[in-house]
């Protein structure tokens, strides 16, 4: 079965579109949906933790696009992570209120069909606590490169499989 058949792969943009750079996952998702129309299921989520389980259940593979804020990270840097990496990050490990690993385990214990594989495309941000509908200047400048890196990763990891 190909990963590129709609219904087996979910690309999920996470974030809040009124908290400055926290919206990066949503904005990149909009661009990817235009670049890969009909190839995957695309959804946005401003919730986290247990609420996210309803969105991801039943998919074979989920790719999340989200903001990350590490101690010495350079804004605009794109990280390609798997669930094994979640415990090593600052922002992502909490996955908006609960560890993604804990949420997946709870979902499995509840008998929900959880994804076989989860990846995250995490973008280093500057600000996620300031109310603004605009990205920080650093992310605005890096936005095209962020989208280009994300598109390359999707082509290499989802389309060609």
- Whole-model pTM: value is 0.84
pLDDT at 107: 77
From CA 161, how far away is CA 159, in angstroms rounded? Answer: 6
- In the chain, where the domains are located: 9-159
Instruction: Provide CATH code, domain 9-159.
Output: 3.40.50.1450
CA neighbor of 121 nearest in space, from 68, 50, 54:
68
Give, in degrees to the nearest 5, the angle at Cα 73 between 69 and 74: 115
Tens of pLDDT, residues 71-115: 899 999 999 998 777 654 444 434 445 666 677 778 778 878 888
Give mean pLDDT, residues 27-42: 96
Residue 90, helix vs strand vs coil: coil
């Amino acid at each position: 079965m190909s990963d590129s058949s709609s219904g087996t792969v979910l690309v999920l943009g996470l974030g809040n579109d009124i908290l400055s750079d926290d919206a990066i996952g949503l904005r990149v998702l909009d661009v990817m949906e235009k670049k890969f129309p009909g190839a995957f299921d695309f959804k946005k989520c401003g919730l986290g933790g247990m609420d996210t389980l309803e969105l991801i259940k039943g998919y074979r593979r989920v790719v999340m696009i989200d903001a990350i804020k590490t101690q010495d990270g350079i804004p605009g840097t794109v990280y390609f992570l798997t669930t094994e990496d979640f415990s090593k990050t600052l922002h992502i490990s909490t996955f908006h209120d609960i560890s993604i690993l804990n949420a997946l385990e709870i979902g499995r214990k509840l008998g929900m069909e959880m994804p076989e594989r989860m990846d995250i495309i995490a973008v280093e941000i500057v600000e996620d606590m300031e109310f603004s509908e605009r990205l920080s200047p650093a992310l605005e400048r890096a936005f095209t490169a962020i989208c280009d890196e994300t598109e390359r990763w999707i082509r290499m990891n989802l389309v060609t499989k």
